[in-house]
Amino acid sequence: MRKIIVLFFFILVPVTTVFAQQADLVKAADARTPVDWVNPLMGTDSRHELSNGNVYPAIARPWGMNFWTPQTGKMGDGWAYTYASNQIKGFKQTHQPSPWMNDYGQFSIMPITGSRKFKEDERQSWFSHKAEEVTPYYYKVYLAEHNVTTEITPTERAARFRFTFPETDQAYVVIDAFDNGSYIKIIPGENKIIGYSTKNSGGVPANFKNYFVIVFDKPFTSTATFNGDNLGDQPEVTGNHTGAVIGFKTKAGEKVNAIVASSFISQEQAERNLKEVKALSFDNVKQQGKDAWNDNLSRIVPVGGTAVQNTTFYSCLYRSLLFPRMFYEYDENGNAVHYSPYNGKVLPGYMYTDTGFWDTFRSLFPLLNLIYPEVNAKMQEGLVNAYKESDWLPEWASPGLRDIMIGNNSASIVSDAYLKLGGKAGYDINTLYEAVLHGANNAGPLKAVGRVGVNEYNKLGYVPYDVVNESAARTLEYAYDDFAIYQLAKALKRPKKEIELYKKRSLNYKNIFDPQHNLMRGKMSSGKFMEPFDPIRWGEGFTEGNSWHYTWSVFHDVQGLINLMGGKEVFARQLDSVFKMPPVFNNSFNGGFIHEMREMQVANMGQYAHGNQPIQHMIYLYNHAGKPWQAQYWVRESLNRLYNPGADGYCGDEDNGQTSAWYVFSAMGFYPVTPATNQYVMGAPLFKKVTLKLHNGKQVIINAPDNSDANRYIKSAALNGKPYTKLWLSHDDLTNGAVIDLKMTDTPDTTREIKIEDLPYSLTNEK
């Protein structure tokens, strides 16, 4: 308990106080394991108008099928838990990837005392963060209204609850199966409740159900069910909104235990999933959960940081290991099976869901490919199944196809994985290549699937502004996606004509470059640029941003963009302008504010809108301009100013691990600017030493002993004992095992001559 008290003390006090005491905190916490540093409440102080993460405390196993969270919001509210709230309505099984996508497969459990209050506003209880213990694998809170302590510890598909009641003959547990169609049945002879929930926010077949089973270790002294607002004595109820209230007589301090599991397949499968906890005590499950998190978190070990930096790092790594989540179960023979969120059938094999590739292709999936390749191999296998079951690759799945965001970034997800994992991963890359080509050359059943505007793009070389909304952003992303296909086609030794087609298309970004402004700009079908043009106007040709944010989305050919702008000095000045401009915006196209605008504004870093994905790689492009010290400076500024381990710890939506993975990579000292290549562009590490323990048994050690807040610039580097001048690291060098020694200084070397071979990858420089 003392460790938790220390953790939340420094989270709740002002940051200046934290830094004044951080040396003592690090010393006192030396014995902590990686998971002990994680704060699942980081980023939970959010609301619709302003996101500091827009996350909830996910009590789960890494990539687990089911998460649990305390519920402070009303049923159906995407903001299920907000840090500023002070009442809990229940403990919800959740599959929510973000408040904007909302939830599915949800139900809640709530202990109460006194009268049988089952409506959420009547049964809710006051609580305090001072009496809340939150870890990734265990949650505990005191419910003041009912004098009950609730504890939860989960497995991948099941969980154990432990309720500590006072002395009373009016102890109850409410099981709420939620509205929009649910079923509940009480089986007193087995101390059991079964049911299902159909509540969802879309992306499900007509036969979707989340079946659940709950078994208590104490006989019921009373039972009741509710249907809507009516509480009755029927043991079994089907309706729009159903639930159950079961009662106990308890002694002071008596612990009532419950085991719970669910399934998307059947009630029988839910019972099968219950075996994950059936033979284990609460403390056994808790310890196994802690071990599972430590096994995964300990693959990256930072040394020499402050308490604030350690907590922020491991909290971000925790967020990077939640999505995409498992959507598969194990049958009676131990084989992986899944309910298809695409066609409603139960089929063999893996399935993962709840991620948007528009966000996560940038750094989350590259992080998996480097540190957790065995996990992403299963995810790729799941993508094979998704394509077979829906005829499309899911650009945003939750749990099935959803019509949100732009691009065709599944091409990057597939290509980067194969180029990093290779054929040894064992999944069907030929089917995935077929799926990638299909998505690149066809408009899908939804705007967010395949490529909307594909005919115009293939004919004109860009998506016209007068034909398709967000046209400039789509053009840039399609061009990069074509590059990813080009890279994969080469690796698979496809016909030369096919390879050259996608290489040519990957240069389509040039077609919307406006030399007058040195920025990207929407273009009409006639070939003329759209008018009028305001570079700080959000929307129009862009997605959740403006031209200053999207102009840099030429991940694969930065040298080509440099050439368009007139050379490296002009390019560097354009990069500088992003930070020098005031954080102002024109919202006339949107007709109002979107939260990303406010997040850019309050961050006070000019037009650098790190709270959203399109610009997150931009800082690293200083390397392409031959000014690595600028990248090193701004990376450190972003790490210091835009992240902290508290409830307001992010500068915008966390977005399924993407914004967290940016922090993890950047704190290690490098970043995957161009997924589907073998390069990581260098920044500078946050820590004095970082050790990467790779899946193949090799290690990467990054030494920067003189690193400090002032010493943020790299004076010289060595790779495996030899001088190293490149501004990038290769995937092969890292996965073969490497020792990288960095000499850090407080003064940048602005006179260093950088050779062309030392620059990061650009298609224009390809030999």
pLDDT computed for residue 27 by the predictor: 54
Comparison of pLDDT for 348 and 8, the residue scoring more: 348
Distance CA(221)–CA(617), nearest Å, equals 60
Q: Is 249 a residue whose pLDDT tops 60?
A: yes
For residue 337, the cross-strand partners are: 329, 348
pLDDT computed for residue 30 by the predictor: 67
Nearest partner of 54 among 83, 91, 89, judged by Cα: 83
Distance CA(359)–CA(336), nearest Å, equals 28
Q: Is 709 a residue whose pLDDT tops 50?
A: yes
- Max intra-chain CA distance, the chain: 82
Nearest partner of 355 among 391, 319, 390, judged by Cα: 319
Q: Is 9 a residue whose pLDDT tops 60?
A: no
Straight-line distance from the first to the last Cα atom of the chain, in angstroms, rounded to the nearest whole number: 59
Give the confidence band of 18 by pLDDT, cuts at 50, 70, 90: very low
Query: Are 666 and 687 in contact, with CB atoms under 8 Å apart?
Result: no
Q: Is 496 a residue whose pLDDT tops 70?
A: yes
Tell me the mean pLDDT in the region 201-216: 98
At 68, phi and psi to the nearest 5? -125, 145
Give the confidence band of 304 by pLDDT, cuts at 50, 70, 90: very high
Give the confidence band of 767 by pLDDT, cuts at 50, 70, 90: confident
Query: Are 519 and 460 in contact, with CB atoms under 8 Å apart?
Result: no
Return the SS3 of 549.
helix
Helix (H) or strand (E) holding 249: strand 242-250
Distance CA(454)–CA(441), nearest Å, equals 6
Q: Is 28 a residue whose pLDDT tops 60?
A: no
Nearest partner of 517 among 468, 577, 589, 587, judged by Cα: 577
Query: Are 635 and 619 in contact, with CB atoms under 8 Å apart?
Result: yes
Lookup result for tokens 């392409």: 624
Sign of CA dihedral 740, 745, 747, 753: negative
Distance CA(318)–CA(338), nearest Å, equals 25
The 10 Å CB-count burial string (b at 16+, else e) for 33-66 is: ebbbbbbbbbbbbbeeebbbbbbbbbbbbbbbbb
Query: Are 602 and 593 in contact, with CB atoms under 8 Å apart?
Result: no
pLDDT computed for residue 26 by the predictor: 52
Query: Are 261 and 274 in contact, with CB atoms under 8 Å apart?
Result: yes
pLDDT computed for residue 25 by the predictor: 45
Nearest partner of 689 among 679, 680, 698, 702, judged by Cα: 702
Nearest partner of 241 among 197, 186, 303, judged by Cα: 197
Return the SS3 of 634.
helix
Tell me the mean pLDDT in the region 286-315: 98
Tell me the mean pLDDT in the region 427-441: 98
Distance CA(450)–CA(545), nearest Å, equals 22
Structure-block tokens of residue 390 = 């829906």
Sign of CA dihedral 491, 494, 499, 501: negative
pLDDT computed for residue 5 by the predictor: 30
Return the SS3 of 409.
coil
Give the confidence band of 24 by pLDDT, cuts at 50, 70, 90: very low
600-630 tens-digit pLDDT: 999 999 999 999 999 999 999 999 999 999 9
Structure-block tokens of residue 377 = 């191999």
pLDDT computed for residue 616 by the predictor: 98
Q: Where are the alpha helices (DSSP H) in 33-189?
A: 120-123
Count each helix (H run) and each strand (E run) in the chain, helices first.
22, 36
CA distances from 316 to 297, 311, 427, 440 (A): 10, 8, 29, 33
329-365 tens-digit pLDDT: 999 999 999 999 999 999 999 999 999 999 999 999 9
Distance CA(414)–CA(435), nearest Å, equals 10
Nearest partner of 765 among 494, 547, 486, 559, judged by Cα: 559
pLDDT computed for residue 589 by the predictor: 79
Distance CA(733)–CA(667), nearest Å, equals 19
Structure-block tokens of residue 281 = 């005590």
At 728, phi and psi to the nearest 5? -150, 160
| Least confident piece of the model among 243-247, 391-395, 584-588 | 584-588
Nearest partner of 451 among 402, 505, 409, judged by Cα: 409
Length of the chain: 767
pLDDT computed for residue 644 by the predictor: 98
Nearest partner of 663 among 367, 295, 359, judged by Cα: 367
Give the predicted TM-score (pTM) of the model: 0.96
622-647 tens-digit pLDDT: 999 999 999 999 999 999 999 999 99
